[in-house]
A = this chain, B = another copy of it.
Amino acid sequence: MRYSYQREIIREIICSTKSHPTADWVYSEAKKKIDNISLGTVYRNLKTLEEIGSIQIIYDENLIRYDGNTEEHHHLKCSECGVLIDTNIKSNFDEKDIVSKYNFKPEKTKFFIIGKCNKHK
């Protein structure tokens, strides 16, 4: 893939925050560094970066957010303020049970634990 300064800036923006930003936020941050960057460029590169495994997409209810942490990991979501917190909790369910009972072969998991963060309990 050919180098692109725009793509590099977008990658840096996502990888230097833990706030799981949306495309729009990435766009407004990117504009601070490249004032005429196009929103289409942001969307296209978010897609590309996700495809090559540099970032991850998080579907947070009806919001699409991006995460520089590309490890499989799960999230805590505050029902008050919406903050998304990375965790390293392990998902443990009975894989054999799922295979036999539902005739389904698990590959990966996406878990959300919804509750109250330290600011809102």
Give chain A's interface residues, CB within 8 Å of chain B. Answer: 59-62, 64, 76, 78-79, 85, 87, 89-94, 97-98, 102-118, 121
Which residue of the partner chain B has the closest CB to A112? B110
| A8-B64 Cα distance, complex, nearest whole Å | 32
Q: How close is A111's CB to chain B, nearest CB, in angstroms?
A: 5
| A98-B116 Cα distance, complex, nearest whole Å | 11
Could you say which residues of chain B place their CB within 8 Å of the CB of A93? 89-92, 111, 113
The quantity of this chain's copies bound in the complex is: 2
| A89-B62 Cα distance, complex, nearest whole Å | 25
Q: Given A98-B113, A107-B116, A109-B111, 10 more contacts at CB 8 Å?
A: A62-B64, A89-B93, A91-B93, A104-B113, A104-B115, A104-B118, A105-B121, A108-B113, A109-B113, A111-B111
Listed A/B pairs (30) with beta-carbon separation below 8 Å: A59-B60, A59-B61, A62-B64, A76-B98, A76-B102, A76-B104, A78-B104, A79-B107, A85-B102, A85-B104, A89-B93, A89-B98, A90-B93, A92-B92, A93-B113, A103-B117, A104-B115, A104-B116, A104-B117, A105-B115, A105-B116, A106-B114, A107-B114, A108-B113, A108-B114, A108-B115, A109-B113, A110-B112, A110-B114, A111-B112
